[in-house]
A and B are shown apart, each in its own frame.
Chain A
Amino acid sequence: MSDELPGYEGTSLDPLTGPAVSQMPWLRSYHDVVEVFRSKAFIQGGGGRRDSAPITGYGVLALAGRDHFERRRIEAVLFRKDMLRWFEREVVGPSLARELAAVTADGVGRTDLLPFLRAVFCDLTCSFWGIDGVDTPDAQDRFLTVVDEMTLGGAVEWERGDHREIVTQSVVAQRRFAAAYLAPAAARRQALIDAVAAGRLDESELPRDLLTVMLRNSRHFEKWDSDVYVRELTLFAPGDTIMRFVPHMVAEIHEWVQDHPEDRARLDDVGFLRRCSLESLRLHPASPYFIRKAVEDTTLASGLHFSAGDYVVLDVTRASLDPEVFGADVDRFDPHRVPRHKVKPVGLAFGEGPHTCIGAAMSMGEVSARRLGPDDPIGLVPFTLRELFRAGITTDSAERARLNSDNARGEFTSFPVRFATARGLAAAGKR
């Protein structure tokens, strides 16, 4: 790892170059935002001030054009249906069963959903990244502590604290992570890759994880620098992202079925839970806004003009609440909502165009109206919600949930719940 954060100054990883978002125009209409997302006249790479660049720079989110397409092609192997099915049934299913058994063992089933989900999704993060040996509660806790410190800097744009201080702490955490976790995991994987190249091991025996994929494509990744591996891992913390969604969903679904008891029986229906998840994500996108830079003069259909070099902020939160598209009661949770236009029910929470979230299907499954086959993945979020509701999750009326006031992402820091029954335990990990 690079020794000091100031080493990035003057490079494209300098965190403090470019205009601040407060100095850029903000687009808030759904149609304007979609048009810019799709337009070839705007790029994401180098899109203005990115304070998180030392933590996630040259990651898939920051690239543009051919480099971005090449990166997506390389990493797509981890998002194939067989991989999504494996993550769902062989990784998250058993983790959920284990944590539900632990929390209901006292017969009371009271816990905070945040640390509960943190423990559940630790295995997913390790499996997706390719980190070995995090297999005891103490090891999980040590691992997640350093992961939390790394990922905080990766989303520093939305933090209200001192950005340079946060980013510096995250760079230090990435160094610790690289020494303690990444280096030994990479050495093990490189030895296996070498064995395949020498004909001593069959390719099918290689681990199926991001680290292996990156090492097998080192020529692509090391076009930038060798630290790109840890920065790319930091970008892909699937459990960290899903943890932000799920408490909102539990709260909104819980309230919805109290007001609409006819839907209570559908809490076991993944199609209904997926619709609930998409509607909740429309209201609470993981990333509140994105930045784009015009690379040529262009005029949007609405008449807004941008010159080459202009920056613009795409406010996906407001665009997904556009009443012209989603109806008059846009800020109300309604899983049966039918948008006025032919648009995705999730709004723009996954973005649109070349930078559409690579993990959209991993989190939500197939959102097409096509009937799912028995081997199709459900999506980690509907899957998790189904298991939580099977275990009788309810918000804990004796304790107050708390929102994080340190950032603009609208995420919970505490979400007390109770599990009314353990009947879902046997089903976790199975369809």
Chain B
Amino acid sequence: MERLEVTIDPLVCACTGYCVQIVPAVFDLPDDGPTVILDPHPPMDLIHELREAENLCPTQAIRVELTGEPEQES
């Protein structure tokens, strides 16, 4: 089954907080950084917000991928 997988490279994260503003259910930024992922497999209906967070990250620390097999139509 296809699902979303969100990862972040903590060494590359610049702590902009943009991702937290766009998808607070998935990202959090502690005061001393770096950004942490609250839900590494968020629901599919967040994909557009997650793609924006990925694009908005100036250091490209975030990666959003689709993993697993797409469901076959019967």
Task: State yes or no: do A and B come from one complex.
Answer: yes
Question: Residue A356 at the B interface, CB < 8 A?
Answer: yes
Count chain B residues whose beta carbon lies closer than 8 angstroms to a beta carbon of A: 19
A 332-355 to B, binary, CB cutoff 8 A, 1 in contact else 0: 000000000011100000111110
The winner among B12, B16, B52 for most chain A CB atoms within 10 A is: B16
Q: Which residues of B contact A38 (CB under 8 A)?
A: 15, 33
Q: Which residues of A contact B52 (CB under 8 A)?
A: 73, 76
Check A366 against B55 for contact (C-beta < 8 Å): no
Bound: A344/B15 CA distance, A: 12
Q: Which of B12, B16, B18, B33 contacts A367 (CB 8 A)?
A: B12
Q: Which of A69, A353, A354, A369 contacts B9 (CB 8 A)?
A: A369
Bound: A222/B18 CA distance, A: 23
The winner among A38, A79, A351, A358 for most chain B CB atoms within 10 A is: A38
Question: Residue A427 at the B interface, CB < 8 A?
Answer: no
B 7-30 to A, binary, CB cutoff 8 A, 1 in contact else 0: 001111011111001000000000
Question: Residue A80 at the B interface, CB < 8 A?
Answer: yes
Check A72 against B11 for contact (C-beta < 8 Å): no
B 31-57 to A, binary, CB cutoff 8 A, 1 in contact else 0: 001000000000000000000100110
Check A368 against B12 for contact (C-beta < 8 Å): yes
Check B17 against A354 for contact (C-beta < 8 Å): yes
Question: Residue A295 at the B interface, CB < 8 A?
Answer: no
Q: Shortest CB–CB separation between residue B26 and chain A, in angstroms?
A: 17
Q: Is the interface of B mostly helix, strand, loop or mixed?
A: loop
Bound: A357/B61 CA distance, A: 14
Check B15 against A73 for contact (C-beta < 8 Å): no
B 56-67 to A, binary, CB cutoff 8 A, 1 in contact else 0: 101111010000
Question: Residue A160 at the B interface, CB < 8 A?
Answer: no
Check A350 against B59 for contact (C-beta < 8 Å): yes
Check A356 against B14 for contact (C-beta < 8 Å): yes
Q: Which residues of A contact B15 (CB under 8 A)?
A: 37-38, 352-353
Q: Which residues of A contact B18 (CB under 8 A)?
A: 69, 72-73, 354
Check B61 against A368 for contact (C-beta < 8 Å): yes
- Contact size class for A? 20 to 34
CB-nearest residue of chain B relative to A75? Answer: B56
Q: Shortest CB–CB separation between residue B31 and chain A, in angstroms?
A: 8
Question: Residue A360 at the B interface, CB < 8 A?
Answer: yes
Check A356 against B60 for contact (C-beta < 8 Å): no
Q: Which residues of B contact A73 (CB under 8 A)?
A: 18, 52, 56
Bound: A347/B54 CA distance, A: 22
Q: Which of A37, A69, A342, A359 contacts B11 (CB 8 A)?
A: A342
- In A64-84, which residues have CB < 8 Å from any B CB? 69, 72-73, 76-77, 79-81
Q: Which residues of A contact B60 (CB under 8 A)?
A: 361, 366-368
Check B56 against A350 for contact (C-beta < 8 Å): no
Question: Given A354-B17, A368-B9, A369-B9, are A360 and B55 neighbors across the interface (CB < 8 Å)?
Answer: no
Bound: A413/B69 CA distance, A: 56
Closest CB pairs A-B (n = 8): A356-B14, A368-B9, A76-B56, A366-B60, A356-B58, A368-B12, A38-B15, A361-B60
Q: 20 A-B contacts, Cβ less than 8 Å apart?
A: A69-B18, A73-B52, A73-B56, A79-B58, A342-B11, A344-B11, A352-B14, A353-B15, A353-B16, A353-B17, A356-B14, A356-B16, A357-B58, A359-B58, A360-B14, A367-B59, A368-B9, A369-B9, A369-B11, A370-B63
Q: Interface of B with A (CB < 8 Å)?
A: 9-12, 14-18, 21, 33, 52, 55-56, 58-61, 63
Known: A81-B55, A343-B11. 10 other contacts (CB 8 A): A76-B52, A76-B56, A79-B55, A351-B14, A352-B15, A356-B58, A360-B58, A361-B59, A367-B12, A370-B9
